[in-house]
């Protein structure tokens, strides 16, 4: 069986990630102790019917398949840019579903997000409170309890030494402040980080071994002497709406994928995957949607909403046309140019 592609855009999950070739020498990692991957069928999408549906119906283009595989082979983050509604976030869930990578770890970026937010959180006040309300025998060994007040973030969890890659979605990285992309450089390049609180306390922890909570679960995972290093580099998707430029050093370390508005055939495939074979009215709405895209931004979700209502509402043609116009306004533009 050919090694390329590992990700195919196929509808059925498979274990193709197991035949991923070894990494290039400059992207090989040796973190340990190696952890068993989470349940491949325990996708976070299972807790969200919307995410599960989008993952199962995602329609990947040829360019998308090629560049996802490039990111997987090279062990590099995938920077996905494009207009709203082109499936940037859904791609991470689709790849995780097909390759059985388990729950997608998601980090939603805001202007206040810092690298530390993605790696871990530590609550010193809860530790102080616990210390004041805990009594120990006089001859008991000192206990730091630091690990009980730590929780790994989505980035910190993705970089644990799992035997196979985890999927990490860093959503809307262009909303971050100017420093975050540069701060990510070292962590994503080295595939490792330290937890200073555990490094300082490691001499008081037997064998320097602590167990901390991983993101998205109540499971505790081992951390040796406060240092985390990946074993299988995670599949990292960073999404951007193109609202800013990134430093060249950041771009150099990513595989870049630009998603564009789907054409007529691709839109028909998307509608077919979500709602079944497009009928006459659906194709008319697709045509009208495409005729307006050149004048402003529209999201595929808007088209799907209009087609769903056309099929399920029982409204007449005139009412449907008026409703479709209201459901497909331009995004980020004044209402004066929103006429069909």
CATH number of the domain residue 134 falls in: 3.40.50.300
Residue 7 has a pLDDT of 96
Tell me the per-residue pLDDT of 80-117, one tens digit each, with 9 for 90 and over.
999 888 899 999 999 999 999 999 999 999 999 999 99
What is the tally of structural domains in the chain?
2
The pTM (predicted TM-score) of the whole model is 0.87
Q: In the listed set 205, 225, 258, which residue is the last one of a domain according to the structure? A: 258
Are both 140 and 94 inside the same structural domain? yes
Provide the residue range defining the domain that includes 221: 16-258
- Looking at residue 250, its pLDDT comes to 94
Question: How many Å apart are CA 54 and CA 81, to the nearest integer?
Answer: 18
Please state, in angstroms and rounded to a whole number, the distance separating the CA atoms of residues 175 and 181: 11
What pLDDT was estimated at residue 123? 75
141 pLDDT higher than 60:
no
Based on the number of CB atoms within 10 Å of its own CB, is 134 exposed (0-12), middle (13-18) or buried (19 or more)?
Answer: exposed
pLDDT exceeds cutoff 50 at 140: no
- How sure is the predictor about 317, in pLDDT bands with cuts at 50, 70 and 90? low
DSSP 183-206: HHHHHHHHTEEE-HHHHHHGGGSG
Nearest residue to 39 via CA among 164, 221, 161, 159? 164
Sign of CA dihedral 240, 181, 20, 104: negative
Residue 3, domain member (yes or no): no
Instruction: Report pLDDT digits (tens) over 228-271.
Output: 999 999 999 999 988 889 999 999 999 999 998 888 999 999 99
Residue 321 φ/ψ, nearest 5 degrees? -60, -45
Taking only the tens place, the pLDDT of each residue in 156-209 is: 999 999 999 999 999 999 999 989 999 999 999 999 999 998 888 777 666 778
51-55 average pLDDT score = 87
Q: Are residues 252 and 274 in the same domain?
A: no
- Point out the domain boundary residue: 235, 258, 281: 258
CA atoms within 13 A on the CB side of 204: 12
Inside any domain, residue 63: yes
Percent of the chain with pLDDT over 90: 55
Q: Give the pLDDT confidence of 265-282 residue by residue, as tens digits.
A: 999 999 999 999 988 888
Instruction: State yes or no: pLDDT of 336 exceeds 60.
Output: no
Q: Do both 199 and 269 map to the same domain?
A: no
pLDDT beyond 50 at 340: no
Same domain? 298 vs 209: no
């Amino acid at each position: 069986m050919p090694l390329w592609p590992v990700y195919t855009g196929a509808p059925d999950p498979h274990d193709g990630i197991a035949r991923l070739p070894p990494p290039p020498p400059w992207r090989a990692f040796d973190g340990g102790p190696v952890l068993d991957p989470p349940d491949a069928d325990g996708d976070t999408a299972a807790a969200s019917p919307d995410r599960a549906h989008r993952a199962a119906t995602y329609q990947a283009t040829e360019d998308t398949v090629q560049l996802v595989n490039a990111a997987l082979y090279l062990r590099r983050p995938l920077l996905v840019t494009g207009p709203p509604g082109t499936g940037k976030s859904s791609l991470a869930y689709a790849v995780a579903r097909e390759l059985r990578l388990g729950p997608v770890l998601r980090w939603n970026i805001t202007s206040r997000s810092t690298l530390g937010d993605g790696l871990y959180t530590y609550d010193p006040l809860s530790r102080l409170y616990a210390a004041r309300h805990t009594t120990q025998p006089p001859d008991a060994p000192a206990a730091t309890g630091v690990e009980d007040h730590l929780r790994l973030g989505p980035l910190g969890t993705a970089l644990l030494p799992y035997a196979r890659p985890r999927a990490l979605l860093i959503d809307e990285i262009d909303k971050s402040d100017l420093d975050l992309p540069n701060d990510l450089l070292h962590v994503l390049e080295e595939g490792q980080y330290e937890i200073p609180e555990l490094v300082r306390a490691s001499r008081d922890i037997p064998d320097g071994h602590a167990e901390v909570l991983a993101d998205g679960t109540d499971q505790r995972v081992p951390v040796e002497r406060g240092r985390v290093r990946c074993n299988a580099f995670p599949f990292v998707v960073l999404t951007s709406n193109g609202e800013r430029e990134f430093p060249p050093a950041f771009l150099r370390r990513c595989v870049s994928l630009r998603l564009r508005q789907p054409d007529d055939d691709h839109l028909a495939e998307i509608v077919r995957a979500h709602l079944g074979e497009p009928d006459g009215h659906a194709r008319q709405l697709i045509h009208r949607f495409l005729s307006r895209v050149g004048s402003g931004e529209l999201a595929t979700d808007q088209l799907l909403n209009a087609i769903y209502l056309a099929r399920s509402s029982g409204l007449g043609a005139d009412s449907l046309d008026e409703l479709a116009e209201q459901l497909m306004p331009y995004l980020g533009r004044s209402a004066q140019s929103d006429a069909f």
